[in-house]
């Protein structure tokens, strides 16, 4: 019998967090539903990276409002899931979209503002993911906090990257921008009013 513990375990959450990835990877490599797997895959992984990033930022407010401190661990799980989607997004861009033309990749990343922003955000998020283990937490001490508070800044860059990549229909990136602003505002409010 599956114990109750399993349903509240991290492994189940990881499994659930990767469900969109199973779907996206299946469609990307084998599915017939997509006409242009490169564009649809690139966009799909990018969007899910952003969604999990925002979800991870929403954990603290949810914990605070619900008084369920044990949910705090979902912040790391969602954050790591976000970085996994981000990595797929980057691999599809370099390997399939740009067809491994390194010179073009470097040229594009440095000359297109929205790509540069995406690259900076990716470096920031990867630096967080790579220091999410217990060893790094212990070793970095106070600096760990500072490094990981950068998440709001990286998230803003991610939303900006999305916004700047759109041709004319800005509704979707603006929705994500509104969610991020709301999360930021909530954090600011609690900082100024610690008692509330």
Partner 1 sequence: MALPKEYRIKEQEVTDHALYLRRREFIVGSMVFAVSAFTHNAAKGEQTKPDQLTPKRAVTSYNNFYEFGTDKRSPAKLAKDFKTEPWFVAVEGHCAKPGKYPLEDLVLSQQIEERIYRLRCVEAWSMVIPWKGFELGPLLKSFEPTADAKFVRFETLYDPVQMPGQKRKVLQWPYVEGLTIQEAMHPLTFIATGLYGEDLPNQNGAPLRLVVPWKYGFKSIKSIVRISFEKEMPRTSWNLSAPHEYGFYANVNPNVDHPRWSQATERRIGERGRRDTLMFNGYEQAVAGLYTDLDLTKWY
- Nearest approach in angstroms of CB 91 to partner 1 is 9
Short-list 76, 78, 112, CA closest to 97: 112
Short-list 189, 192, 166, CA closest to 65: 189
Residues in contact with partner 1 by the rule CB under 8 A = 28-30, 32, 35-39, 95-104, 107-108, 112-114, 164-165, 167-169, 171
Burial of 33 (0-12, 13-18, 19+ CB in 10 A): exposed
Our CB check for partner 1 shows the closer of 50 and 57 to be: 50
Our CB check for partner 1 shows the closer of 108 and 126 to be: 108
Q: And the tokens for 184? A: 């930021």
Q: Would you give the DSSP letter of residue 95?
A: I
- Nearest approach in angstroms of CB 118 to partner 1 is 12
Residue pointed to by tokens 């999360």? 183
- Nearest approach in angstroms of CB 157 to partner 1 is 16
- Nearest approach in angstroms of CB 102 to partner 1 is 6
Our CB check for partner 1 shows the closer of 74 and 176 to be: 176
Return the beta strands (E) in 41-192 as ranges.
none
Our CB check for partner 1 shows the closer of 40 and 129 to be: 40
Our CB check for partner 1 shows the closer of 39 and 68 to be: 39
- Nearest approach in angstroms of CB 38 to partner 1 is 7
Burial of 56 (0-12, 13-18, 19+ CB in 10 A): buried
Short-list 153, 131, 126, 155, CA closest to 144: 131
């Amino acid at each position: 019998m599956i114990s109750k513990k399993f349903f509240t375990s991290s492994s189940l959450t990881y499994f659930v967090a990767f469900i969109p990835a199973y779907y996206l990877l299946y469609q990307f490599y084998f599915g017939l539903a997509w006409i242009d797997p490169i564009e649809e895959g690139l966009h799909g992984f990018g969007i899910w990276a952003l969604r999990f990033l925002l979800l991870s930022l929403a954990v603290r407010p949810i914990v605070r409002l619900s008084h369920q401190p044990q949910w705090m661990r979902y912040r790391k799980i969602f954050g790591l899931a976000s970085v996994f989607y981000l990595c797929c997004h980057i691999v599809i861009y370099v390997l399939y979209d740009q067809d491994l033309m390194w010179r073009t990749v470097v040229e594009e990343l440095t000359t297109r503002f929205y790509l540069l922003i995406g690259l900076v955000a990716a470096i920031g998020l990867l630096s967080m993911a790579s220091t999410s283990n217990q060893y790094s937490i212990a070793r970095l001490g106070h600096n760990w906090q500072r490094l990981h508070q950068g998440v709001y800044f990286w998230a803003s860059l991610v939303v900006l990257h999305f916004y700047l990549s759109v041709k004319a229909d800005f509704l979707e990136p603006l929705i994500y921008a509104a969610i991020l602003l709301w999360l930021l505002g909530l954090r600011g409010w609690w900082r100024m009013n610690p008692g509330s």
